[in-house]
Amino acid sequence: MLVLFIFLLGCEEPQIRNSDSIAQSKTGSYNSNDKQVVDEPIKIGFAMDTLTEERWVKDRDHFKESVEALGAEVEVMASHGDDALQIWQAETMISNGIDLLVIVPHNAESTAAIVEKAHSAGIKVLSYDRLVKNAEVEMYVSYDNERVGVLQAQAITELVPKGKYVYIGGAETDNNAHMFKKGVFEVLQPLIDKGDITVVFDQWTKDWVPSNAKENMEIALNANHHDIDAVIAANDATAGAVIEALEEQGLAGKVPVAGQDADLAAIQRIIEGKQAMTIYKPINELTELAAELAIKLAKDEEIGELGEIVKVNNGKMEVPSILLSPTVVNHSNVDETIIADGFHMKEDVYLNKGKED
């Protein structure tokens, strides 16, 4: 009996050593000869709100490329404006073993539940472009969205220093929409107080849907007997809808319209004289930074060298944030900004003009 026990014990020892020699982890592993085994790559989950707008497709593609260039993997899901679906998708990615969650919230408030679920699984959260409200988010990366609104308003007030203004906001559930508006009215309010400008219509655009923006603009035109001097729209998709409404009244190109995102259609409208300006936020700059932040956060590495860290209050905490600087684009600087950066191709920008120079 004793002989049998010794024999069985001897058979188990090689199995234990073999198990040690093939063990792997995302923080490194070693075999019995202290030779490192190839690490399992970091996996990033990217929970997006929508892919219906041109800029978000760019975000998805560039972010994926940036993450993969750094040797990590990414899983992307988009909820298309459905809060419950976005929560389910985040839960799915958490279950799939992601190491960090990057999220573009549809609803800044309800997305706090996603942060809680991620944290309960030991997963950090990076808020991308839009800030998650009332949650302990590890990091926020975006462009300076308040500055976007300031630049829009400065550009339009230079063109129309006095008159009747319409403001077409973004989705009320999106914190960025509030930041854009805050920046716009920082510029407008002194002129309103002086009596130079009157805001005759100010409305949010439900879910950022262009048809809702067009309906808002039609209401504004009818309420003011088509007597409108300037329009500031929260993004280029809503600006396009505003211009559709103006075109139907023969006012396109006569009423300056501001947008932001530098969508191709918006740049074409600027060349055609139908849209006054847009705000350019190079997507590759944002996605490359977000990819580096995501991987460093997943590995618990220092991030300070990636940019100046400021604090942005989300209602619950001062969130460590990196905010990039946006750029005004109008008819005079399209070539040296949008085209020079390769953001859009020259032949596409000038397609409707048939311009070659």
Asked if residue 232 is part of any domain, the answer here is yes
Whether residues 65 and 107 fall in one domain: yes
For residue 317, give the nearest of 170, 122, 119, 147 by alpha carbon: 119
Does residue 29 lie in a domain region?
Answer: no
Nearest CA among 205, 197, 216, 199 for reference residue 171: 205
Helix axes 236-247, 264-272, angle to 10 degrees: 40
Instruction: State the CB neighbour count (10 A cutoff) for residue 265.
Output: 16
Same structural domain for residues 263 and 163? Answer: yes
269 shares a domain with 234: yes
Q: Verify that 89 and 192 share a domain, yes or no.
A: no
Structure token digits, residue 224: 């003011």
CATH code (residue 77): 3.40.50.2300
Going by C-alpha positions, the residue among 305, 308, 312 that lies closest to residue 322 is 308
d(CA 331, CA 46): 35
Let me know whether 262 and 289 are in one domain.
no
Q: Residue 71 corresponds to which tokens in the numbers above? A: 């040797």
Confidence of residue 53 (pLDDT cuts 50, 70, 90): confident
In the β-sheet with 197-203, what is the strand arrangement from edge to edge?
197-203, 163-168, 230-233, 257-258
The pTM is what?
0.83
Whether pLDDT at 89 is above 50? yes
Residues 195 and 332 in one domain: yes
Residue 333 pLDDT greater than 70, yes or no: yes
- pLDDT tens, 128-155? 999 999 999 999 999 999 999 999 999 9
Say yes or no: 189 and 255 in one domain: yes
Residue 273 forms part of a structural domain? yes
- pLDDT of 103 reads 97
How far is it, in rounded angstroms, from Cα 152 to Cα 233? 9
102 lies in the same domain as 159: no
Q: Which residues contact 34 (CB under 8 A, 6 or more apart)?
A: none
Dihedral sign (CA 326, 251, 178, 61): negative
Statement to judge: residues 341 and 194 lie in one domain: yes
**Is residue 25 scored above 50 in pLDDT?**
no
Asked whether residue 241 is assigned to any structural domain, the reply reads yes
pLDDT tens digits along 226-277: 999 999 999 999 999 999 999 999 999 999 999 999 999 999 999 999 999 9
Calculate mean pLDDT across residues 82-106.
95
Q: How far apart are CA 267 and CA 272, in angstroms?
A: 9
Question: Per DSSP, what are the bridge partners of residue 73?
Answer: 43
Tokens of 321: 């944030």
268/293 same-domain check: no
Domain count, the chain: 2
Range of the domain at 119: 43-137+282-324
Residue 293 domain-assigned?
Answer: yes
24 inside domain: no
Q: How far apart are CA 213 and CA 234, in angstroms?
A: 10
* Residue 222 and residue 338 share a domain: yes
Picking from 10-19, 140-149, 218-227, which range would have the lowest pLDDT averaged per residue? 10-19
- Give yes or no: residues 56 and 97 share one domain: yes
